[in-house]
Amino acid sequence: MNIHNASLTISAVSPAQYPKTDFPEIAFAGRSNVGKSSLINKLLNRKSLARTSSKPGKTATINFYNIDGSIHFVDLPGYGFAQVSKEEKKRWAAMIETYLNSREQLKCTALLVDARHSPTEDDKTMLGWIRERQGFALIFATKCDKIAKTKLTGNLDEVYYALNLEDDDILIPVSGETGMGIDDAWEAIRELCGVE
């Protein structure tokens, strides 16, 4: 698989717009501004394929990225503190729920949490859904470059215990800035989605 051959297939808001392909899909879920788009860009070695913003709530659609006709990365709208109306938040929640509950091509949902902070109640709720559907959790702890090396292990321990992770779960510290953990992330994605 040539990861450099990547493109945005569609920005969807309803199942009728989802790609009519049978590629395995991995969804990236997490609160607003946790770094989903930045991680996708780093995984694909692209600067701005996935739109990033310092303002929470930039991703308002479900974005499907085709990687070499082999797999789709699916960037979900963030949840949590996005500065949008309650109605918009409800619409996003319904959009996410519909995708997660109906998409047969979805092989894995990765939960992204900010390694600098303890996981939120929303993170725990999303993790509960992920566990129920796939039986294990794939967690990407983002923004690890913003933590002093002496504190990183302690922060990751806090994430591990706050989310009550188990032996079958996978916790990978990553950075969309420095590339930390990207090889490990790809190894997990390839194995879980069955792609070379």
Q: What is the pLDDT of residues 69-120, one digit of tens each?
A: 999 999 998 887 556 677 776 776 788 889 999 999 999 999 999 999 999 9
pTM of the shown model = 0.92
- What type of residue sits at position 80? G
Q: Which residues of the chain have pLDDT under 70?
A: 52-59, 81-84, 89, 92
State residue 42's pLDDT score. 95
State residue 84's pLDDT score. 61
State residue 58's pLDDT score. 52
Cα 76–4–96 angle (5° rounding)? 10
Q: What is the dihedral of CA 36, 29, 55, 62, to 10 degrees?
A: 90
**pLDDT cut 70: percent of the chain above it:** 92
Strands of 6-12's sheet, edge to edge? 6-12, 62-67, 71-75, 25-30, 106-114, 138-142, 170-173
Q: Do residues 73 and 65 make contact, with C-beta atoms less than 8 angstroms apart?
A: yes
For residue 80, give the nearest of 68, 70, 88 by alpha carbon: 88
Q: Could you tell me the domains of the chain?
A: 6-193 (3.40.50.300)
